[in-house]
Structure 1
Amino acid sequence: MVLTTATLRCSVEKGITLRTAIEKKAHHVPSTVGMDESNLVSQTFDAALASLENSKAESIIPIDIRGRSTIGDFMIVASGRSHRHVTAVADHLLQALRETGCKDMRVEGLESGDWVLIDTGDIIVHIFRPEVRDFYNIEKIWLDEGFDDERALETVH
């Protein structure tokens, strides 16, 4: 099934994630924009990476999890230097994602600032304080099979 940008926006406004829209076979709505699902996800992914860089997040590791998990297509793991920095990075990222059209995001941990998780449905972003990141070592779990993915090799900062 081909989903258009208009379909995705309608789904987001109704509180349906991209994954749910696909599973429920959302009705096709003609689009004048001409952007398909993968382009929208890619654009959101690039905006998330740019936001993390602009917020001075550290050790940014993007991971392609397509075909390895049903929880999403991409995961991004990053660190902030302190509680305050983690929450500032997360706030900046949430604003950037809203500007790309993401409206139905789930956010956990924003109050504590130790580990913030932002789930857009297709992209999961983890922002940690360094000590918490070292303890959970999430990227090792997802990159355990090797570093084949070129984007996963690119560590920013």
Structure 2
Amino acid sequence: MQKKLPAKKLKAEPAETIAEKPKRARAKKVAEETVAAEPAPKKSRAKPKAKKKAGPTDGAKVLLDLVVKTLDDNKGEEILTIDLAGKSSIADFMVIANGRSGRQVTALANYVVDAIAKAGLPPCRTEGKSAGDWVLIDAGDVIVHLFRPEVREFYKLEKMWQADFRPEAEHE
């Protein structure tokens, strides 16, 4: 036995509404075509705003202060900071310091990494801790190089980064 489904009740629309439906559809189509035919808005001829000079951020300065204070508190020697603004995009600052021995260089690296972690900053990457001659710490905005004195004298890293290199002077 099949069940009978109840008949759907149709809404009775007024006669004028039925007659207007095709007109509304045509009007809508004409409006869409008009919008599509309009030319795209012209680009502004105003000069673009000057970009801020790339310089160290407040966060980079805070990180720099933390690194220098940690090295100083733990007897790092000959601590040197180099502002890398305009010289490189890898970081805002570079710190170069000595330890008296390979063991102290490794310990200084551990102190710096721990201080950065305790401050809640992103973790650092380190290279060279096992050898203890030259440890590189990449803390994002600050790059730290820790050396034994003989190794620092051999590489003279600060001399290379502090040089006033101007490519245009080379061609004159």
Q: TM-score range by the shorter chain?
A: 0.5 to 0.7
The match for 1:79 among 81, 98, 107 is: 98
Equivalent position of 1:90 in the other structure:
109
In 2: Cα distance, 1:104 partner to 1:92 partner? 13
Structure 1, 97-106 or 50-59: larger mean CA deviation: 97-106
On the 8 A contact 1:51/1:93 being kept in 2, the answer is: yes
Equivalent position of 1:144 in the other structure:
163
| Counterpart code for 1:110 | K
On the 8 A contact 2:116/2:123 being kept in 1, the answer is: no
In 2: Cα distance, 1:101 partner to 1:40 partner? 12
| Counterpart code for 2:69 | A
Equivalent position of 1:125 in the other structure:
144
- Structure 2, unaligned stretches of length 5 or more? 1-55, 166-172
Select the structure with the greater relative contact order (CA < 8 A; seq sep ≥ 6). 1
Equivalent position of 1:58 in the other structure:
77
| Counterpart code for 1:101 | G
User: How far off is 1:38 after superposition?
Assistant: 1.7
User: How far off is 1:145 after superposition?
Assistant: 2.1
What value does the CA root-mean-square deviation take over the aligned residues?
1.5
On the 8 A contact 1:78/1:126 being kept in 2, the answer is: yes
In 2: Cα distance, 1:76 partner to 1:43 partner? 13
In 2: Cα distance, 1:72 partner to 1:38 partner? 11
The match for 2:124 among 105, 108, 111 is: 105
Equivalent position of 1:48 in the other structure:
67
On the 8 A contact 1:105/1:121 being kept in 2, the answer is: yes
- The structure with the larger Rg is 2
Structure 1, 134-143 or 38-47: larger mean CA deviation: 38-47
After superposition, give the CA deviation of every residue in 1:24-67 in whole Å (9 maximum; x if it has no partner).
xxxxxxxxxxxxx8222111110000000011010000000012
On the 8 A contact 1:44/1:100 being kept in 2, the answer is: no
User: How far off is 1:124 after superposition?
Assistant: 0.2
After superposition, give the CA deviation of every residue in 1:101-125 in whole Å (9 maximum; x if it has no partner).
2233110001110000000121100
Identity among equivalent positions (%) equals: 45
Q: TM-score, normalised to structure 2's length?
A: 0.61
Q: TM-score, normalised to structure 1's length?
A: 0.67
Equivalent position of 1:151 in the other structure:
none
> Secondary structure at the residue paired with 1:101?
coil
